[in-house]
Amino acid sequence: MNVESLVFYVFAALMIFAGLRVITARNPVHSAMFLVLAFCSASGIWMLLEAEFLSITLVLVYVGAVMVLFLFVVMMLDINLDQLREGFWRWFPFGAALALVMVGEMVYVLGNRKTAATEGLVRHAADYSNIKELGRLIYTDYVYPFEIAAVVLLVAMVAAIALTLRRRIGVKSQNPGKQVLVKKADRLRIVPVAAEKSGSDRAA
Amino acid sequence: MIETLQNLLGVAWTPLWTLVKIVLIVAPLMVGVAYLTYVERKVIGYMQVRIGPNRVGYYGLLQPLADGMKLFFKEIIIPAGSNKFLFVLAPVLCLMPALAAWAVVPFNAELVLANVNAGLLYILAMTSLGVYGVILAGWASNSKYAFLGSLRSAAQIVSYEIAMGFALVCVLMASGSLNLGDIVNGQKGAGLLSWYIIPLFPMFLVYLISGVAETNRAPFDLAEGESEIVAGFHVEYSGMAFALFFLGEYANMILIAFLTAIMFMGGWLSPVTFLPDSIVWLLAKASFVLFLFLWFRATFPRYRYDQLMRLGWKVFIPISLIWVVVVGLWMQTPLWLW
């Protein structure tokens, strides 16, 4: 066994362990952290496949942004574990059936010589840029699917923001533009006050 | 001599040599972190017409060592209601990405630990991991102040990362590469005039200010806001665990300073054509940026939370989006000289 497969098995074992702990950990924050570990292991495996763009983007997007917000939400929720666990055995057959279907699909895809492209895996030279190649493909051969996906995501984003917009009355807010443009004359009034008697007169 | 060693060690050579190189980067970095705290106290001291540390060693030069010793021998108190594992893990997660990012930072044309093509992406990924230390520290401490600090910090880091990412998109458009070494080489030519700071000046400002926000430094240090939430996310930490947060913060500052120097100020390239390029330039530029960090801290009052969010979302992100388009159009014209 060469070093590469050793590294692969280490990452794969870590990922399976982390994946199991995501669903078995009692504390939701622990689950979220194990999901982070699973993402990091997956990123390591992709790195072994020389897919450095995907691998780093996985860390950047999922670990660096999505999971942070997820953790953010999970930490603030008051989760009652007993209530969550109540329906476990009732839903177990359904979950198991779903798992079986997924395992079946994976075996079909990966076990088939035609669909599993392990034969055609080519080693590239050190100066080969995965990102350049990916960018070229995305913006030439796959430009329409890519643009459509981008627009769909944009619409989803706009919709998510629109959901949070609601008109509330009686809310005070500042207008920084107005604050910056404010002049001395708007705020300050100089009142001429007549001079009083000086101190020396009073002393006398 | 290196070849004899190489033959002697055989297979073990590559990992050992890499390890030596890692030590050669991390050891000066740690010394830099220690003395940055000293310089910070001195600079802010002089700006406020004080002397700063001057008791331990000549001009207080041994002060960082004394501080380190003190923190090292202090007891690490783990709060009773805390989550022990995550409480101990959080400072490690804070320091780890700050060190890991140095793997791709080039010091001159040859001196780089890992000359990878996706260097810029790697840097972005690593700097985005730093937030875990802060969030987990706040949650695991089981304290309201720590939790509030970590929530503030997480929102802040996630918001400013977007503007920072767009600033880097401009840099990679200008250089046509994600490799940090190639980015520096793309700024070669007419000395100071061919640095990306000239066409990308707004992005330079956005990157620098987002960098200050990203490292939770004043005036964006809402995560610690002493007057409101005591010390924020690290209020329950003591001894070396507390020191690790500081090491992480300062290592991040040095990293941001180096990245600013590399991406906008020509890295190791000399500002004038008649002087040779050298690592000294990189150190000088990074030191200048670090001085700015200290200067900001001594000069500006802390931002209010809504002002901070407004600056990030309503000012920086639109500016950087517009500048991406401007640079894209500019590059299509013959007026693009970089």
pLDDT number for residue B303: 82
Using the predicted structure, report yes or no on whether residue B201 has a pLDDT greater than 60: yes
- Any CB–CB contact under 8 A between B44 and chain A? no
pLDDT bucket at A109, cuts 50 / 70 / 90: confident
Domain presence at residue A123: no
Which among B76, B66, B64, B84 is positioned nearest to B238, based on CA atoms?
B76
pLDDT number for residue B151: 83
Domain boundary among A66, A81, A96: A81
Helix axes B63-73, B13-47, angle to 10 degrees: 110
Using the predicted structure, report yes or no on whether residue A81 has a pLDDT greater than 70: no
Q: Give the list of residues 6+ apart from residue B138 with CB closer than 8 angstroms, or none.
A: B146, B147, B148, B149, B150, B151, B153, B232, B233
For A159, the token pair is 């919709």
pLDDT bucket at A120, cuts 50 / 70 / 90: low
Using the predicted structure, report yes or no on whether residue A31 has a pLDDT greater than 90: no
- Is A141 found in the same domain as A74? no
Domain membership of residue A156 as a residue range: 128-164
Domain presence at residue A27: yes
- Any CB–CB contact under 8 A between B88 and chain A? no
Minimum mean pLDDT range among A80-84, B174-178, B301-305? A80-84
Rounded-to-integer distance, Cα A89 and Cα B258, Å: 56
Using the predicted structure, report yes or no on whether residue A80 has a pLDDT greater than 70: no
- Any CB–CB contact under 8 A between B321 and chain A? no
pLDDT number for residue A97: 94
Rounded-to-integer distance, Cα A89 and Cα A20, Å: 18
Helix axes A67-76, B144-175, angle to 10 degrees: 170
For B323, the token pair is 């500048």
Cβ–Cβ below 8 Å for A57 and B121: yes
Domain boundary among A45, A63, A81: A81
- Any CB–CB contact under 8 A between B147 and chain A? yes
Mean pLDDT of the B215-231 span = 75
Left, alpha or beta for B216 (phi > 0: left; psi -120 to 50: alpha)?
left
pLDDT bucket at A15, cuts 50 / 70 / 90: very high
Domain presence at residue A147: yes
Minimum mean pLDDT range among A83-97, B12-26, B223-237, B272-286? B223-237
Using the predicted structure, report yes or no on whether residue A155 has a pLDDT greater than 90: yes
CATH number for position A71: 1.20.120.1200
If DSSP codes are grouped into helix, strand and coil, which group holds residue B173?
Answer: helix
Domain presence at residue A87: no
pLDDT number for residue A114: 66
* % of chain B exceeding 90 in pLDDT: 4
Domain presence at residue A70: yes
* % of chain B exceeding 70 in pLDDT: 98
Rounded-to-integer distance, Cα B95 and Cα B244, Å: 6
Domain boundary among A57, A81, A105: A81
Mean pLDDT of the B214-232 span = 75
Cβ–Cβ below 8 Å for B136 and A53: no
Alpha-carbon dihedral sign for residues A44, A47, A51, A56: positive
Q: Is A156 exposed, middle or buried (0-12, 13-18, 19+ CB in 10 A)?
A: exposed
Side-chain-side CA neighbours of B224 within 13 Å: the count stands at: 16
pLDDT bucket at A149, cuts 50 / 70 / 90: very high
Please tell me the total number of residues recorded for chain A in this structure.
Answer: 204
Q: B143 with B127: CB under 8 angstroms?
A: no
Minimum mean pLDDT range among A121-135, A166-180, B292-306? A121-135
Rounded-to-integer distance, Cα B257 and Cα A74, Å: 34
**Nearest by CB: B125 against A59, A69, A127:** A59
**Nearest by CB: A56 against B118, B132, B306:** B118
If DSSP codes are grouped into helix, strand and coil, which group holds residue B64?
Answer: helix
Which among B317, B215, B207, B319 is positioned nearest to B265, based on CA atoms?
B207
Rounded-to-integer distance, Cα B252 and Cα B99, Å: 8
Using the predicted structure, report yes or no on whether residue A152 has a pLDDT greater than 90: yes
Domain presence at residue A58: yes
Using the predicted structure, report yes or no on whether residue B226 has a pLDDT greater than 80: no
List CB contacts (< 8 A) between A130 and chain B. 117-118
- Is A136 found in the same domain as A66? no
Vertex A194: Cα angle to A188 and A199 (nearest 5)? 115
Mean pLDDT of the B21-42 span = 88
Q: What is the ipTM of this complex?
A: 0.80
Domain presence at residue A191: no
Distance of residue B117 Cα from the nearest chain A Cα, in angstroms: 7
For chain A, counts of helices (H) and of strands (E)? 11, 0
Domain presence at residue A159: yes
- Is A74 found in the same domain as A142? no
The reported pTM is 0.84
When divided into structural domains, chain A yields a total of 2
Using the predicted structure, report yes or no on whether residue B261 has a pLDDT greater than 80: yes
Using the predicted structure, report yes or no on whether residue A190 has a pLDDT greater than 70: yes
Left, alpha or beta for B195 (phi > 0: left; psi -120 to 50: alpha)?
beta
For B34, the token pair is 């220690």
pLDDT number for residue A17: 92
- Any CB–CB contact under 8 A between B135 and chain A? yes
pLDDT bucket at A56, cuts 50 / 70 / 90: confident
If DSSP codes are grouped into helix, strand and coil, which group holds residue A28?
Answer: helix
Within 10 angstroms of residue B4's Cβ, the number of other Cβ atoms is: 8
Q: Which chain A residues have any C-beta within 8 angstroms of a chain B C-beta?
A: 27, 29-30, 33, 36, 52-53, 56-57, 59-60, 63-65, 68-69, 71-72, 75-76, 127, 129-131, 174, 176
pLDDT bucket at A125, cuts 50 / 70 / 90: low
pLDDT number for residue A13: 92
- Any CB–CB contact under 8 A between B296 and chain A? no
Mean pLDDT of the A170-175 span = 80
Average pLDDT over chain A reads 83
List CB contacts (< 8 A) between B131 and chain A. 64, 68
Q: B218 with B297: CB under 8 angstroms?
A: yes
Mean pLDDT of the B142-150 span = 83
